[in-house]
Amino acid sequence: MAIAGITSEERSLVKSYMLLIYIHKVFERDCRIIQESGVFKSPQLYVEIVGNGAKRAAILLREIKQEFTRRTIKVFDIQRGQDGIEARYACRGYVGSMEMLWPSFREEMMSRMRVYLGLAPFDPRPVPAPDARSSRLTTSP
């Protein structure tokens, strides 16, 4: 529910906070799984990559919390539901909530995670199959 007392920029901060909380948890969990799985020959490389993503998410989360303090915003409850995730917040005395449905939440999360890992943002367009003719090595006389 949108309230007149909160700007679109402040709503964007709340949305980013919601996403970053989950992104950081996912990166931390993935690091643990990579380390403990015993499947990787050199897990330290993968842990470093995912760990760097977690560090980027933590830095952004800290910056958002500082901005929350500056703008008198407090997110006091985040609930996962069957349809999505909902955050309840207070902003300069106004109380409101924001809900994101799972499909859009996951898509945004994956896009941000790719960026935090140093990858290009997700492009939903299918990648064309390589042309067999263009993949052959050719030599010029």
What tens digit of pLDDT does each residue of 75-103 get? Answer: 999 999 999 999 999 998 899 999 999 99
Structural domain span for residue 113: 8-118
- Of the pLDDT bands very low, low, confident and very high (cuts 50, 70, 90), residue 141 is very low
93: amino acid identity, one letter: G
Q: Is residue 69 part of a domain?
A: yes
Q: Which residues contact 29 (CB under 8 A, 6 or more apart)?
A: none
Q: Residue 4 CB: number of other CB atoms within 10 A?
A: 7
**Closest by alpha carbon to 102, among 88, 120, 127, 85?**
85
- Of the pLDDT bands very low, low, confident and very high (cuts 50, 70, 90), residue 14 is very high
- Of the pLDDT bands very low, low, confident and very high (cuts 50, 70, 90), residue 131 is low
Residue 23: is its pLDDT beyond 60?
Answer: yes
Residue 15: is its pLDDT beyond 70?
Answer: yes
User: The pTM is what?
Assistant: 0.82
Give the full edge-to-edge strand order of the sheet including 94-101: 73-80, 84-91, 94-101
Q: Is residue 126 part of a domain?
A: no
Structural domain count of the chain? 1
pLDDT of residue 46: 95
Q: Is residue 104 part of a domain?
A: yes
Q: Is residue 62 part of a domain?
A: yes
Q: Is residue 21 part of a domain?
A: yes
